[in-house]
Amino acid sequence: MAHVLMPRLGVSVTEGTVSAWLKQVGDPVEVGEPICEVATDKVDTEIESTVAGVLTEQLYAVDEVVEVGAPLATVATADDAAAPAAPAAPAAPAAPAPPAAPEPTPSIVPDPASYGDEPDAAPAAPPADAAPPADDGRYAVVMPRLGVSVTEGTVSTWLKQVGDPVELGEPICEVATDKVDTEIESTVAGVLAEQRHAEGDVVLVGEPLALVTPDGALPSASAAAPPPPVAQPAPTSTAVPVAAAPAPSAPPAVPAGPTVPGAPAELRPGPFDHTAAVERLLATVARAGRPVAAPSARRLAADLGVDLAGLTGTGGGGHVTRADVQRAAERPPAAAAAPAAPAASVAPPAPAAAPAAPEPTGHPMGSDGLPLGYEDVPYDAVPTSRIRRVTAEHMTRSRRTAAHMTTEVDVDLGLLTDVRARLNAHRATQGRGKLSFLPFVARATCAALLEHPDLNATFETERLLRWGEINLGIAVDTPRGLMVPVLRGAERMTVETLGEGITDLAARLRDGKPGPDDFRAGTFTISNPGSVGAVSAPAIINQPQVAILGMPTIQRRPWVVRLADGQETIAIRPILRLALTFDHRALDGADATRCLVDIGRRLETWDVDDYR
């Protein structure tokens, strides 16, 4: 019979709470096998048995607090088991287990008469030449595992000498490992009967350090020992998986030391990769789950009264920059204009961030309905249109719902300019109108979306709905406000059909005769703030879609181009900075960027026929 003690789970830990029993009474337990879970203020951990045998008692119920060093459970060892199993043994019925040493009872101080001389030492057990009496699991205090990677320790000092009384949890010796120097606490109460190792000896984890017996006598030599004298199976008992077993295959013993969660820090010399470090850093922006802004942007937002939560970041990884805050602050709280459009079809043109509904200005309001402090500023109250209010609601909802992130690429439209000119020239011969760049971009986008179906989709947390057709929304700036008509089945259209479809829709909107189907079931949207001169085009996603392509104005920029001979030179090129704003909940930046690059590649390489 032996106890499994509550180990010290940290330097400052003095107690723990039993959170669950993993072994029940009657269960066999091995050394190192978890018997229960204990929670402390530092760690939650499993307590491993320090002895092998059968669990005979759980000394604490779940949720009870156990002090470090106190016995948690009683385990009947092989020897204990042998006793009741051999009723023929003379002493067996009298005291099968309980009197066996380790009870933390008052009998700590041994009767001095019981050690020193051994008047009635059992003649049956030859004192000296007997097999090591030692490996008697009941009495052995074994070398605990003092750290995850610690396999052995060196006895540095014995604190208890043979004959000294020992309490449960009382330090008996000091052990040094390559990790820690620590005191080993006794797992058995009684009298130190034997120091199994001298100071300076290296002891493997799980090996017995000392024997503590009730009376200080070595077990095999002590007829007075409470367990039945049948305790002679000494030689064979070494084969029993008691705590003592130093067999290399034996499971590691005793969680007497703190178990360190996680791997310790390692030394990793290597060059510092600035680009990778920046990328790692930027990746944390998307993971942050909150608006991420540079410290400077935070302060500016506070100064200008801008709510960061409402901003689309254009900085690396999508973090909010000072420029973003500045733009948001400069945007008048009430802008655009008029009429109505079905709710779900409204999408934004520019890097929009108009705050909406319940807290219209995000600024304290005075009793006269004006923002506090603005009472003496002359004003003109312009009623908002329904479409404005719908847009406002839709924008804030989208911002709150989706994890907006924008990726951008520069596309050289030199070839497309030529392609478009040729196609328009051809159309002119047929008396048809000119196509703008928009249908070309729409055509390339549809082609790319077919290969990147995750962007033509709806995100529902549990699933992503990939739509089987591309219903392309085109954000249109109308005199009445922003509207987003939808071209259904756009993936089947040529550039010319797309161009004409867009023209038709725009005409119908302007004439105020759109049909309900004109706004329904969009799966992807293109916004074209370039038409009014924007040079960058992040946007707010048109719910329930997952992405929106922003098309700013085409700028003539100095550009490095490769000449036919492989030399590079700088030329003036028409450059379009396409911006793809996507919902980071639905897909990752790399996926979105791959799609965007795909669009750009088509625009840079497609000839006239590719657009048809």
Partner 1 sequence: MTTTPVTTGTTGATDRVIGYSRAINEALAEEMRRDERVWMMGQDIGRLGGVFGLTRGLQEEFGPMRVRDTAINETFIVGGAAGAALAGTIPVVELQFADFLFTAADEIFHKLAKWRYMHGGQFTLPVVVRLPSGVVGGAGAEHSQSLETIAMHVPGLKVAVPATPSDAKGLLKAAIRDPDPVLFFEHKGLYRVKGPVPESDEHVVPFGSARVARAGNDLTVVATGLMVDRALAAAEQLAPQGIDVEVIDPRTLVPLDIDTIVASVERTHRLMVVHEASRTAGFGAEIATQVQERAFFSLDAPVWRVCGTDTPLPQDPELEQACIPSTDEIVAAARALAAI
Is residue 584 part of the annotated active site? The answer reads yes
CA 581 – CA 55 distance, rounded (Å): 61
Residue 329 engages partner 1 in binding (rule: CB under 8 A): no
Q: How far is the CB of 296 from partner 1 (least distance, A)?
A: 5
Residue 298 engages partner 1 in binding (rule: CB under 8 A): yes
Q: Which of 65, 282, 415, 597 binds partner 1 (CB under 8 A)?
A: 282
CA 64 – CA 222 distance, rounded (Å): 38
Residue type, position 147, single letter: G
- State which residue, 285 or 356, has the beta carbon closest to partner 1: 285
User: Exposed, middle or buried, 393 (CB in 10 Å: 0-12/13-18/19+)?
Assistant: middle
3-class secondary structure, 490: helix
Rounded to 5 degrees, φ, ψ at 507 are -65, -45
- State which residue, 71 or 317, has the beta carbon closest to partner 1: 317
Adjacency order of strands within the sheet including 202-204? 181-185, 171-176, 152-158, 202-204
CA 164 – CA 190 distance, rounded (Å): 9
Q: Which of 99, 229, 251, 316 binds partner 1 (CB under 8 A)?
A: 316
Of 114-122, 224-232, 296-304, 408-416, which segment contacts partner 1 by CB under 8 A?
296-304
Q: Which of 24, 90, 106, 274 binds partner 1 (CB under 8 A)?
A: 274
**Rg (the chain; Cα; Å):** 40
Q: Which residues pair with 140 in a beta bridge?
A: 211
Residue 322 engages partner 1 in binding (rule: CB under 8 A): yes
How far, CA to CA in Å, does 53 sit from each of 19, 265, 474?
22, 37, 75
Q: Which two tokens stand for residue 238?
A: 């070494």
Of 201-209, 288-296, 334-342, 396-404, which segment contacts partner 1 by CB under 8 A?
288-296
How far is CA 333 from its chain centroid?
Answer: 38
Residues in 377-406 at the binding interface with partner 1, rule: CB under 8 A: none
Residue 551 engages partner 1 in binding (rule: CB under 8 A): no
Residue 283 engages partner 1 in binding (rule: CB under 8 A): no
Contact between residue 417 and residue 425 where contact means Cβ atoms under 8 Å apart: no
Residue 409 engages partner 1 in binding (rule: CB under 8 A): no
Pairing of strands 140-142, 165-166: unpaired
Residue 568 engages partner 1 in binding (rule: CB under 8 A): no
Angle at 300 between CA 297 and CA 303, to 5 degrees: 155
Q: Is the bond preceding residue 7 a cis peptide, omega within 30 degrees?
A: no
Q: Which of 157, 236, 296, 494 binds partner 1 (CB under 8 A)?
A: 296
Q: Which of 27, 410, 588, 610 is catalytic?
A: 588
Q: What is the dihedral of CA 467, 470, 476, 481, to 10 degrees?
A: -20
Rounded to a whole number of angstroms, the distance between the first and last alpha carbons of the chain is 87
Residue 269 engages partner 1 in binding (rule: CB under 8 A): yes
Residue 239 engages partner 1 in binding (rule: CB under 8 A): no
Residue 271 engages partner 1 in binding (rule: CB under 8 A): yes
Of 104-112, 186-194, 276-284, 532-540, which segment contacts partner 1 by CB under 8 A?
276-284
Rounded to 5 degrees, φ, ψ at 191 are -125, 135
Residue 272 engages partner 1 in binding (rule: CB under 8 A): yes
- State which residue, 213 or 314, has the beta carbon closest to partner 1: 314
- Binding-residue total with partner 1 (CB under 8 A): 21
Contact between residue 457 and residue 574 where contact means Cβ atoms under 8 Å apart: no
Residue 275 engages partner 1 in binding (rule: CB under 8 A): yes
Q: How far is the CB of 596 from partner 1 (least distance, A)?
A: 17
Q: How far is the CB of 567 from partner 1 (least distance, A)?
A: 18
Q: Which of 584, 591, 598, 609 is catalytic?
A: 584
DSSP 327: H
Is residue 394 part of the annotated active site? The answer reads no
Q: How far is the CB of 294 from partner 1 (least distance, A)?
A: 5
How far is CA 149 from its chain centroid?
Answer: 26
Q: How far is the CB of 317 from partner 1 (least distance, A)?
A: 8
Residue 281 engages partner 1 in binding (rule: CB under 8 A): yes
CA 48 – CA 53 distance, rounded (Å): 13
DSSP 522: -
The 10 Å CB-count burial string (b at 16+, else e) for 350-375 is bbbbbbbeeeeeeeeeeeeebeeeee
Residue 278 engages partner 1 in binding (rule: CB under 8 A): yes
Of 309-317, 349-357, 361-369, 422-430, which segment contacts partner 1 by CB under 8 A?
309-317
Q: Which two tokens stand for residue 562?
A: 């490769």
Alpha helices in 144-214 (DSSP H): none
- State which residue, 541 or 580, has the beta carbon closest to partner 1: 580
Contact between residue 578 and residue 599 where contact means Cβ atoms under 8 Å apart: yes
Residues 6+ apart with CB under 8 A from 398: 540, 541, 542, 543
Map residues 114-143 to x or -, x wherever contact with partner 1 holds by CB under 8 A.
------------------------------
- State which residue, 109 or 267, has the beta carbon closest to partner 1: 267
- State which residue, 405 or 540, has the beta carbon closest to partner 1: 405
Q: How far is the CB of 269 from partner 1 (least distance, A)?
A: 6
3-class secondary structure, 185: strand
Map residues 445-484 to x or -, x wherever contact with partner 1 holds by CB under 8 A.
----------------------------------------
Of 41-49, 218-226, 292-300, 345-353, which segment contacts partner 1 by CB under 8 A?
292-300
Q: How far is the CB of 234 from partner 1 (least distance, A)?
A: 57
Of 161-169, 295-303, 420-428, 449-457, which segment contacts partner 1 by CB under 8 A?
295-303
Q: How far is the CB of 302 from partner 1 (least distance, A)?
A: 9
Side-chain half-sphere CA neighbours of 21 within 13 A: 18
Of 319-327, 342-350, 452-460, 508-516, which segment contacts partner 1 by CB under 8 A?
319-327
Residue 294 engages partner 1 in binding (rule: CB under 8 A): yes
Cβ atoms < 10 Å from Cβ of 569: 9
Helix axes 437-451, 414-429, angle to 10 degrees: 120
3-class secondary structure, 576: strand
Of 65-73, 116-124, 247-255, 264-272, which segment contacts partner 1 by CB under 8 A?
264-272
3-class secondary structure, 270: coil
Residue 297 engages partner 1 in binding (rule: CB under 8 A): yes
Q: Which of 277, 335, 465, 535 binds partner 1 (CB under 8 A)?
A: 277
- Which residue ranges make up the site for partner 1 (CB under 8 A)? 269, 271-272, 274-275, 277-278, 281-282, 294-299, 315-317, 319, 321-322
Question: Mind telling me the catalytic residues?
Answer: 584, 588
